[in-house]
Amino acid sequence: MRKPVRPVLVVIAHGSRDPRHAATVHALVRRVRSLRPGLRVETGFLDFNIPSVHGVLESLAAEGVRDVVALPLLLTRAFHAKADIPAVLREAPARLRIRQAEVLGPSPLLLAALERRLYEAGLTPADKSSTGVVLASAGSSDPEAIAVIAEIAREWRHTGWCAVRPAFASASLPRTEDAVRELRELGCARVAVAPYVLAPGFLPDRIARGAADADVLAEVLGPAPEVARVLLARYDAARTPALAAVGA
């Protein structure tokens, strides 16, 4: 008996004029493929980069593909996940059966990836109790997304850090530099900035500038193995809810 064909995973990234963005997205997709050999993974961009999401879906339909899981490469469920991506998917060829996966965050695996980046930047587990961390995200005008970032910061604080404060590069306050200053005033021995963003670009650069007075600035999440595992967990949950990975 032939095994059922697994749906194609289409990773939907925002896109950017900054070439580092697409390069990082492709590196993450390569890691996903390495973790799940045999799974077909395609990448489409909403703007600025090619191939476009529409172009990828048209090509898949032309090949005879029937089932697709569309996965938003987003950390929070804001405007792009609620409006932009569903609108693009509604324009897909009618022969495609498309299921939209959930966004990546929140997830304990993403917290693990944030800590990985901080340790790679020079911190050690022994530094946690004396280090304040700025959880710096891109920002959003969507109250749901802002509330999620604040909750992640509260949850992360309970893992042993001196303090954790959320900050935003756009649309919301406080800015990264304000959160750094607050942690200094709180008395943390050192301050670290952890960008809660997936790829380099305009807003991550703004986060980096706001971290000028911090002791440590971590890299973006990028192709961290934990991020790739979250992608696969979201794919599994979308194609078959019972296969959702524990802890993702």
Q: What letter would DSSP give residue 245?
A: P
| pLDDT of 145 | 93
Token pair in block for residue 135 = 């959880």
Please state, rounded to an integer, the average pLDDT across all residues of the chain.
94
Q: Mean pLDDT over residues 181-209, rounded?
A: 98
Query: Could you read off the pLDDT of 207-220 as tens digits, one per residue?
Result: 999 999 999 999 99
Residues 6+ apart with CB under 8 A from 15: 21, 22, 45, 46, 47, 48, 49
- Is the pTM for the entire model greater than 0.75? yes
Instruction: Tell me the C-alpha to C-alpha distance, in Å, between residue 174 and each of 166, 177, 207, 227.
Output: 8, 8, 12, 26
- Angle 159-198-77 from CA coordinates, rounded to 5°: 80
| pLDDT of 176 | 98
Query: Could you read off the pLDDT of 45-90 as tens digits, one per residue?
Result: 999 999 999 999 999 999 999 999 999 999 999 878 898 999 999 9
